Amino acid sequence: MKHSAACALLAGSGGLFLLQSQAATLPPELQAGLPVALLSGQASMTFWGFEVYQATLWVAPGFVDSAYEQSAFALELAYRRDFKGADIAARSIAEMRRQTPLDTELQARWEARMRALFPDVKAGDRITGVHLPGTGAQFWSNGRRLGEIGDSTFAKLFFGIWLAPQTSEPQLRQALLAKARPMTGGSTP
C-alpha cells in the first residue's frame, strides 16, 4: 500500500501498543489550561515493527471515559517517524468515518481545516490536541499553538479515534484510559 505508514499514523490497523513505564511530565502548553491534569495512560504504537508514535493522555479530575466528550483532557502524539500534515488530516477523517457516517460537505470542511492546521512532522515532533468540552478542540505543535476547530461534534469524533468504544485500536484505548478508570472488581469494556 502506497501510504502504509500514513495509514498507521493515527490509529493504524494491526498496530501493537505497549504501555510505557517511564513517568511523563505535563507539557508546558497544558500547564495554563489544564494545570491539574493527571496522566491517564501512555502507549507506543508500532506498525509492521516500526514505532509510529507514543500517545499520552492527560485528563482533568472527574474524567469519565464513557463520557469523554464532556471532559477537559489533552492527547499528545510524539512522532517517531516523518509524516505530511495532509496525510494526518486524511487519516483522521477516515478514522472519524469509522465512528459515524459523515456528510460529504462537513467531511471536506473538517479535512480542509485540519490540513490548514496540522504541520508536516519529523521524528521527535509532538502534536497535542486539547479537548474543550462543548466548544471544540485546540491544537499545539511542539508547544506552539496551531489553532482551534470550534465544533464540539468534530472534537468528539476526532478524539474518538482513540477514546471511543468504536475505535479501530481497542488496545490503545485501554492503555490510554488505564489510570482514568476506577478500580473495580470487574473489567470495563
The CATH number that applies at residue 133 is 3.50.70.10
Least confidently predicted of 36-45, 107-116, 128-137, 152-161: 36-45
Q: Greatest CA span in the chain, whole angstroms?
A: 46
Rounded distance, CA 14 to CA 8, Å? 8
- Per the structure, how many domains does the chain have? 1
Q: What is the pLDDT of residues 46-93, one digit of tens each?
A: 778 888 899 999 999 999 999 999 999 999 999 999 999 999 999 999
The residue segments making up the domain with residue 51 are 4-176
Rounded distance, CA 103 to CA 100, Å? 10
Do the domain assignments include residue 146?
Answer: yes
Contact at 8 Å (CB) between 17 and 52? no
Q: 45 has which bridge partners? A: 17, 53
